[in-house]
Structure 1
Amino acid sequence: MDFQRVNLVYFSPTGGSKKIMRYVSSVFNINSMTVDISNPSLDFSKFVANEDEISIFAVPSFGGRVPETFVERIKNTNGNNSKAILISTYGNRDFDDTLLELKDVVKEAGFLPIAAIAAVSKHSIMTDIASTRPDDLDKEEIISFAEKIKKHLENIDDNFDLDVPGNFPYKKYNPVPLKPKADNKCILCGACATDCPVGAIPYDTPNITNNELCITCMRCVEICPVGARSIGEENLKMITEKFGPLCEGRKENKLFIENLNK
């Protein structure tokens, strides 16, 4: 099939998932449409894919799961039995059940997942972990994966059921208890409030965080123009000492596609 468009559906609070998604989409060389599922003002029910389109879904792994808010937003889209590629980025520990959950959610929305990629990206909280990834080697490998997927698309049938790792019931999601806060450098510009994907930062008091809504995606820390937001040095030290050893060594990117891993 000659695809007419590639749909880029993503949540990328610190940029890693979007970068991997762009590597994959580059091999198709066709028109693209972006659907940023971090934007709560979008009406996701209006995203309806056609059969001659392919969609790429890219999300970070949050504690081995798809971020809960974005599960609901993806469910409101309509795939019309069109094909999809799944991407889970992870901070050099593990992606656990993320790809399986993403596959299930995307199928429920009417898409046919035909391939999946787990890719290492800089850890969003412990930013010294995998700090340079994706690097040039990752880029080359991910593009090679995408070329294999593109070739695979020529032979796929509508009864194909993609096999990805993971367990059901999915692992219990334990949200990070640490929430970014603003310090006295905050200039009240409101950039963080505008970009917060869950509305956890009030527009009129952007130096405040609603801890009940915050999912510690670190988007506000990433985009703050004066570096006023953080989880605090002591908190970062504590979480690094606890979880850092699980993220040691260079973890691999992985491709999941029919017959490739059997």
Structure 2
Amino acid sequence: MKTYPVVEITFSPTGGTKKVADQISCYLGNITNTMNLIRHDVSFSDVTVPSDSLAVIAAPVFEGVIPDIVIERMKEIQGNHANCVVIAVYGNRAYDDGLIQLKDTAELCGFNVIASVAAVAEHSIMRQFGSGRPDEEDNKELKKFAEEILEKLSSEKELSTDYFVPGSHEYKRLGNLSVVPKANASCTGCGKCAEACPTGAINKNNIRTGDSSKCISCMGCIAACPKGIRKLNPVFLAAASLKMKDLLSGRKPNEIFL
């Protein structure tokens, strides 16, 4: 079956979204270019995706929607009528309006969205939920999804972008969680957290805390800390885990729409 040059566009603060995207991309073809929407010091306004490539766009769902900063950066990119797969990655609860929002945004950018995928990764805050995902079972399922996408691309029929995707075009945000990770006195000031922050919420001159007005609670700074020093308040984390246990427990599904 024919494969394609893949342009991979991701926003993956803790790495789970990138793992999912890589699994699908590697089965669709050769990744010829990657774009990291984490970068707050980069403009994407001069990016035009080659029309003969296959774009894979992956982003996490926070509180039922795709983070505003991701949508803003996506809208700078010129899709140039390239075929596209969008992937909304969720932390073992639900993807709500995130998938349809990602599809709509990609279409606004000029992409031809031929498949939409909802996939599970570890919860970025309470990592015991969805722990280890995507795992081997997920990888087999994502490979199957990629094969379905390639089959659609190889069909002699006109590629359809008019297919059902769950969710509402109102893109309803389910809450406004704002938790800012902090470092203790053991912080060495290496600056890795500031480099990883997608919104520039961490000042290199005041590394230990973050600007709550900019922080989107993505946990990228925690993932980037080489010493494991940057953390959330353990009392908050324990209380939140207990409150969300029923919603986040069990094995939630990956789904494809095309």
Is 1:137 aligned to 2:137, yes or no? yes
Distance 1:32 1:173, change over 3 A: farther
Paired-residue identity, %: 37
CA contact (8 A) 2:2 2:154 kept: no
Deviation at 1:30, TM superposition (A): 2.5
- The residue type paired with residue 153 of structure 2 is L
In structure 2, stretches of 5+ residues that fail to align are none
- The residue type paired with residue 56 of structure 1 is V
What is the TM-score of this pair, normalised by structure 2? 0.95
Which residue does 1:222 correspond to in 2? 223
Is 1:102 aligned to 2:82, yes or no? no
State the Cα deviation string for residues 153-205 of structure 1 (Å, max 9, x = none). Answer: 12353553232110121213523122111112211111101111100000122
CA contact (8 A) 1:3 1:53 kept: no
Mapping 1:142-153, distance limit 5 Å: 142-153=142-153
Which residue does 1:53 correspond to in 2? 53
Which deviates further from its counterpart, 13-22 or 25-34? 25-34
Which residue does 2:79 correspond to in 1? 79
Which residue does 2:62 correspond to in 1? 62
Which residue does 2:249 correspond to in 1? 248
Superposition misfits of 4+ residues, deviation over 4 angstroms: 1-4
CA contact (8 A) 1:113 1:161 kept: no
Distance 1:252 1:158, change over 3 A: closer
Which residue does 1:9 correspond to in 2? 9
Deviation at 1:37, TM superposition (A): 0.6
CA contact (8 A) 2:57 2:84 kept: yes
Which residue does 2:29 correspond to in 1? 29
Deviation at 1:45, TM superposition (A): 1.4
Deviation at 1:15, TM superposition (A): 0.7
Deviation at 1:246, TM superposition (A): 0.3
CA contact (8 A) 1:45 1:77 kept: yes
Distance 1:31 1:114, change over 3 A: same
What is the TM-score of this pair, normalised by structure 1? 0.94
Deviation at 1:5, TM superposition (A): 2.1
State the Cα deviation string for residues 205-227 of structure 1 (Å, max 9, x = none). Answer: 21121011000000001110111
| RMSD of Structure 2 on Structure 1 (CA) | 1.6
